[in-house]
Amino acid sequence: MISFIKGILEEKREDSLVVENQGIGYEILVPATVLDEMPSTGNDVKIYTYMHVREDDLKLFGFLSKEDLTMFKMLIKVSGIGPKGALGILSVMTSDELRFAILADDAKAIAKAPGIGAKTAGKLILELKDKCDWQEMIQQSLSVTQKQEEKTGISMAGKEAVEALVALGYSSTEAAQAVRKVEITPDMQVEEVLKLSLKNIVLSRIDYLCQTMINICWN
């Protein structure tokens, strides 16, 4: 088994990376979130990997953290979700956001992933809910929040924006995702954060509709 690959980023493709290590180029399928965080080609990278083996195929799937890799392994064990579906889910939300969606029974947020319907999202929640350590997740979230507060002092505006979006009828998962995409500065008011977050929600829904239409046309 290959636990991780550390080497030079040679190429970034639409849904994969090519990492060179000791003269060998490894193609690694990755979520869109990983592609967004990759440096320019020629830089060193470290990718945690999962090798998927079938009779006629062998593929590497990669992630930036052990936590994301662990979540991927949990997802592919859910009935009806293969590696492609798991990669799609982790392309539209982080592993922490997915855990939060599972905790909140937010099948709608999970169903935004390409190829994942409401029925499959509900099954995912049912099968993984008792496999996630909620207490540990809460402690990690609190730790991250405290570090962000110490570093930026802007958590209150973001928190209030999330609460406002939920009050407007958006799910807690969608609200948190939208606010997280906003680059909040110390001098920003809640109203401005809320406005930018609503813009993110609209763009996200447009992208989801476009992806849905593409899938319908291809099928």
Give a yes or no: residue 141 inside a domain.
no
Give a yes or no: residue 196 inside a domain.
yes
Identify whether residues 118 and 52 lie together within a single domain. Answer: no
Q: Which of 24-33, 99-108, 159-168, 199-208 has the highest mean pLDDT?
A: 24-33
pLDDT at 155: 57
pLDDT at 170: 81
Instruction: Write the pLDDT tens digit of every residue in 11-57.
Output: 999 899 999 999 999 999 999 889 888 999 999 999 999 999 887 88
Please name the residues in contact with 211: beta carbons below 8 A apart, sequence gap of 6 or more. 114
Q: Mean pLDDT over residues 90-110, rounded?
A: 85
Give a yes or no: residue 143 inside a domain.
no
Give a yes or no: residue 52 inside a domain.
yes
**Strand (E) positions, the chain?**
4-12, 16-21, 24-29, 44-54, 57-63
Residue that has been written with the tokens 């599972």 in this structure: 102
Count up the domains in the chain and report the number: 3
pLDDT band at 189 (very low <50, low <70, confident <90, very high): confident
Instruction: Write the pLDDT tens digit of every residue in 51-63.
Output: 998 878 889 999 9
Identify whether residues 174 and 216 lie together within a single domain. Answer: yes
Query: Whole domain around residue 71: which residue ranges?
Result: 66-132
Q: Is the pLDDT of residue 108 over 60?
A: yes
Identify whether residues 18 and 73 lie together within a single domain. Answer: no
Identify whether residues 91 and 113 lie together within a single domain. Answer: yes
Average pLDDT score over the chain: 83
**Which residue, 99, 90, 180, is CA-closest to 137?**
99
Identify whether residues 120 and 76 lie together within a single domain. Answer: yes
CATH code of the domain in which 29 resides: 2.40.50.140
pLDDT at 152: 41
Q: Mean pLDDT over residues 133-146, rounded?
A: 52
Identify whether residues 60 and 45 lie together within a single domain. Answer: yes
